Each structure stands twice: as structure tokens, then as C-alpha cells.
Chains A and B, each alone.
Chain A
Amino acid sequence: MIREQEIIIKPRAKWYLLDFAELWRFRELLYIFTWRDIKVRYKQTLLGVAWVIFQPLVSTGVFTIFFGRLAKIPSNNLPYELFVFIGLVFWIFFSSTLTSAANSMIENVNIIKKVYFPREILPVSAIITGLVDLAIAFAVVLAITFYFGFRPSPLLLVIGPLSVLIASFAAIGLGSFLASLNVRYRDVRYVLPFLIQTMLFVTPVIYPLATVRDWLRTVLAFNPMTGVIESMRVMITGSGKLDLALLSFSFASSLFLLIFGLIYFRLTERMFADIA
């Protein structure tokens, strides 16, 4: 029992991004929300853990037939299957965590209205849940890479975690922003799938960044997932050249999204229980 703890309740939200002390105090809740989401998903879905691999595999099949074989989209001298599969695994990590972070508030509205805890826990736990899936999918990525005769670059050990961090920052930032909008505006939920679909096409998942025009490449660089997917392809297959400038740019833009999303979330968070 913590006796010395004194809680002061005041009208105004304080101006910091994240209350780390408070998050640390509630670390077990973060863990338990993640645990709940993983547990429930594997209980509800027939495929369970296989779903994590199945989804990118099926999409890879479809994209390979239509974009690789029929449209003959170039793939940086990689087999198109491998090219698109690596892209999809990271894209699915980003899009699914973004979706669950954005829906995390309204899906837990009953808890929000009845119990206090730092609300950031919910979008963050959605991202951690996604990381577990990513770890499983990543093992399959490596297996397929080896099958096609490619070897990862040793730099993967550094660039890999960095890329995952960039994708997570972007998902937490954008996800928190959307989660907050979602509480207030009920139609956000329906716009979200459309938004994500559009984002798939402005991310070099099914095509290499090298094929687009220069000016468009600059625009696409603002999308943090561009740097993540491009670099991960190079690192995992060990072929091609790492574009460090692009990766730094992605890091900067994901950091911007993170800060913007968390500030917006913080400013609106205290009203969630009233308007949800």
C-alpha cells in the first residue's frame, strides 16, 4: 500500500506529453490489456495464430498475380513474391495496429466511463499486441528470404529495431489522434478503412520507391512507412543500398506524428468520459 501518495485533482490538464511516472505505476495494466487482446483474439478466431501469417501470404499471392505477373511492376531485382511479402508484413503491422489503436477508446468505453487509468495505455497496448504478431510474421519472412536464397545484412540488427520503432511511433501518434477523434465523431470509424486503403497506395508496398517520379518521391518520403519498408527490404534480403537519408526522414516524420498525436490526445483525454 502506498500511503505517502497524494493525488491532486484539478481542472486543467498539465502540459506534458506523457506522464511517465503514472504510466510506470500502471505498467501492469498495460501488460494485462495486451494479454487480454491477444488471448481474446486467439479464442475468437478459428485460425488463431495462423492468421498472422495467413493474411500477408494470401495478399502476397493476389498481388503477385495481378501486380507482379500481369502488370509487371518492377521489384528491385527481387522476386516479386518476396518483395511484396516483406512490404506487406510491415504494412499490416502498421495498418492493423493503427486500426486497433484508433478503435481502442470506443471499444473500451465501458471501462473508461467507470475507472481511472492513464488513457494512453489503450492505444499503446494495441501497438504492443501488434508487435507480438509482427514477431511471429517476421520469423516467416526470414524463412521465405532464406528459401529464395537471400541472406539478411548484419545491419538488420540495428536498422530492424529502428524501423519497428519508427512504425510504432507513427502508429501510436496517428492512432492516438484518431482514437480521440473517434470518441467525439462516430463516423471516424467508417472513414478509417478507406483511409488505410488509400495509405497502402501511397506507401511503396506493391511498387518500389525507385519507380515513381522525383517530386512524388519527395511527397512519399513524408510517409514514415516509406522509409521503413524500403529499408527493411534492403536489410532483410541483403540486396540493394540502404537509403539512410530516407530513413532519417521517416524517423523525423514519425516523431512528429507521435508528438502531435500525443498532445492532441492529452488535450482531449479528460473529456472522454463525458462525451463518449
Chain B
Amino acid sequence: MKPIIQVKSISKRYRIRERLPYYSLRDEIVNTLRNPLKLVKRNNREFIWALKNVSFNAREGEVLGIIGPNGAGKSTLLKILSRITPPTKGEIRLRGRVASLLEVGTGVHPELTGRENIYLSGAILGMRRSEIKKKFDEIVDFSGVEKFIDTPVKHYSSGMQVRLGFSVAAHLEADILLVDEVLAVGDTEFQKKCLGKMDFARREGRTILFVSHNLLSVEKLCKKTILIDRGGIKAFSDTREVLAKYLDSKSIVNSRIVFPPSKGPGNAVVRLLKCSTKSVSGNLKTEFNLNEKIVLEMEILVFDSNVKITPSFHIKNNAGEYIFVSTDLTSEKGEDKKHKKGVYKKRCTIPENLLAPGTYLVGPSVTTISPKKIHFFQPDLILFKITERLTSEEQSSRGNYMGEFPGYIRPVLPWESNFVKSK
């Protein structure tokens, strides 16, 4: 049988925008009048290849995970498959009805009621009216907003809006489902419901492409996984193998990253220059002993001294589970702080004997807490490892016990022992 998804050497080229975030007709006319040759010269603009020569097939009923670092081309691939943007080269054949879920609640209109939005959102996602009608009760039930179904959505809480949006999407009947990170929203309870729904779709024999940062859910749902990096497929096999490769390969996640000053992630307010893990003495270091302090450091370049900003680090373990987030609390009350223009080093120290041995992913971020704005957030940008090589004099919470010692953290805690009475 022919594969249901057939991707043949797909490439996608983007033009790097030199001047402005947008064009204006006025400028274009003025420039053309001033310099009519510019129209001819247009071709030497700078390009980047977001995807290069990507080929793979998926058979009916397969659930494929797509993982990779930020900017690797995962979302571009999904956008091409969804026909939102055309490829520059190559060809794709999709044999069946396609539904793409790149966002929860696409097209939901705040002025319309929940009921009206179910019809609107359903139609935008490609459902027929009769189909929506048939599943209407089910959708409402799944979303848990029955009480407010005739209230305009603008009065919903953001959680309710997400639930309504996802419920419509979850009832799509398609042969091929393209899903992008939609599970990253909503509360844990609802996320479980969504994963359950995807699992159900899988068991029904749907073909699913699932792009995610959440390695844990990829592992749960997908038998096979594609690893994409810098626009190309780096691995395509059994999920466990690919995940291991992804986490271990230092070419993908480094212990240190340095961006060219103008190309670092960020915006007109602040940019990330460097990110690394260091020892207390300030030397670059990737592997730490259980009883060593770990220094996380980011170097940022502040352009705008009027915007209050707060740096933070997001730490995940090698299964992609969040371990903790730490934000800069050096300012009073832990509020956003204005920074003079210039380069800053922001350091955060993880105490010794806190995290259990393993590999950890570090995601630096700078945000403004109120009004909320993310200036940059690079999940899983670098990694560090904690190992357990203790000499007998050093103390760890395992004491002299040598067997398996489970847990996310490995603190050394004070114990007391009081003699109460003799029998």
C-alpha cells in the first residue's frame, strides 16, 4: 500500500528581511523612482534555508513525533504539510483528509457565543456543518462549558476559551492529523484529557504527526520519531533511540552557546548573547558532582533602558519534565527592574545536593512580568549533567546505600533521632 504521507525532498527558503519588519508602499514607490535599477538587483537579497531536502514517508495509522531544537524547521515543515505556506522545492502527497491543529482556538471570535464559535471554529478547521451538528453535544461535554454555551466568549476565562477551542479540534474527523504543541496550554487536568483524545485517535487508526517540545508526551504517544536540526532530518527511527540521541548529542544541545551580537534571540529591548554553565570559580563546566554548586549564567545585551525586565531559567530533566523555574529575585520584592543599556551577566546558583544525578536542560528567558511580554525564551538551549562520584568521606543522601536511589531531587536533609524511652 502507498504511504499516506509522502514527503519528497522538501526545501523551504525564506528571505531575510533587511530593513523593516514590514514594507510600505510609499517607500517602495519612492525607492523605485530614485533608483529604478533596484528592481533588477532584487535577486541578490539574503536567503536562509529553513528546510533542506527533507524526505520521509508515513504509513496509515502511524504516529510520528517530530522533535528538535528551536528554529530547526519543525514548525515550517508542519506549515508546509498544512498548505499554509508553499515549499520552495519538492513535492508532498497526502492521501486522505487532513486536519491541522497548529493552534488552539483558531478563528474564535470574542463577540460570538460559545455555541456560535463551535460552528465557526469547526468550519474553519474543515468540519462540515452536519458533522458539527452531530457532535455538538459531545464537543460541549468535552469542553466543560455547558453553562456558558450561550454567553459571548469574551466573557470566558482564558482557560475556558482554550478548552472550547480544543474540544472542537478534538472532534475533527480526519485521516491525517497534524498537531503542533497544542498541548502546551491549559491546566494539567485538561492536558491529560487531550493526550487521551490523541491516544484514542491513534487507536482508531489515524495517522498523526506530532510536533512537540514535551519529550515525555512524544515518548508516550509516538512509536517513531523524527529529529530535525538546522533544516534537515538528523534521525528517524524508534522514539527511544531518537530521544536518547537528541539528549546526548552535544551538537544539538551544547553546554555553552554564544550568539553573534545581532543574531541572538530577543528583540529591540534585550538580546541573549551567551548562555553557559560554570563552576563556582567561574570556569566553564558541564559535568558536576552531586555535591557541587552549579552556576547558570546568561549574558544579555540591553537596548532599551525604559523597559522593566526579569531574567529567568527554566530547568527540565532528560524526559522533558519541568523541574523548576527560577527568576531573578535580587531586586526588591522580585519585581521587574529597569536596566541601563549595556551587557549584563545574570547568574543563578543551584545549590549542591539538590538535583538528582542525570542530564538537565536549561532554558534562559527574559520577560517583563507586567504587562506580560516574553522578550526571548529558548527552551532546552544548553545542558548540564550531574553525576555521582563520591569518595567515602563526602556526604550524600544515599549514605552508604549502594542500590537504586529514585527521586527527582537528592537533598541532604537533617535528621534527628531521639531516644524516647526504653521498653
Contacts and interface: CB of A to CB of B under 8 A. Distances in A.
B23 A185 contact: yes
B25 A181 contact: yes
Interface size class of B (residues with CB under 8 A): 35 or more
Interface stretch (A36-44, A53-61, A225-233): A36-44
Interface residues of A, number: 40
A32 B82 contact: no
Contacts of B79: 273
A8 B6 CA distance: 10
A188 B79 CA distance: 27
B129 A28 contact: yes
Interface in A131-171: none
Contacts of A43: 111-112, 152
Shortest 3 CB-CB contacts between residues of A and residues of B: A185-B25, A116-B83, A9-B92
A51 interface: no
A111 B107 contact: yes
Interface string B69-84: 0000000000111111
Interface stretch (B94-102, B270-278, B309-317, B324-332): B94-102
19 contacts: A1-B174, A6-B93, A7-B92, A8-B91, A9-B92, A9-B94, A10-B91, A32-B119, A32-B129, A36-B112, A39-B112, A40-B112, A43-B111, A43-B112, A44-B111, A114-B106, A187-B24, A274-B14, A274-B85
A162 to B, nearest CB: 32
Contact of B123 (A11, A28, A112, A271): A28
A110 B84 contact: no
Nearest to A182: B25
A7 B129 CA distance: 22
B124 A117 contact: yes
B343 interface: no
A245 interface: no
B250 to A, nearest CB: 33
A113 interface: yes
B123 A29 contact: yes
Interface string B52-82: 0000000000000000000000000001111
B128 interface: yes
Contacts of A115: 82, 84, 100, 102, 106-107, 124-126
Interface in A1-49: 1-3, 5-13, 28-29, 32, 36, 39-40, 43-44
A13 B88 CA distance: 11
Given A1-B174, A114-B106, A274-B14, 20 more contacts: A2-B97, A3-B97, A7-B83, A8-B93, A9-B83, A9-B87, A9-B93, A11-B87, A39-B111, A40-B109, A40-B112, A112-B84, A114-B100, A115-B102, A115-B107, A184-B23, A185-B22, A186-B22, A187-B25, A273-B84
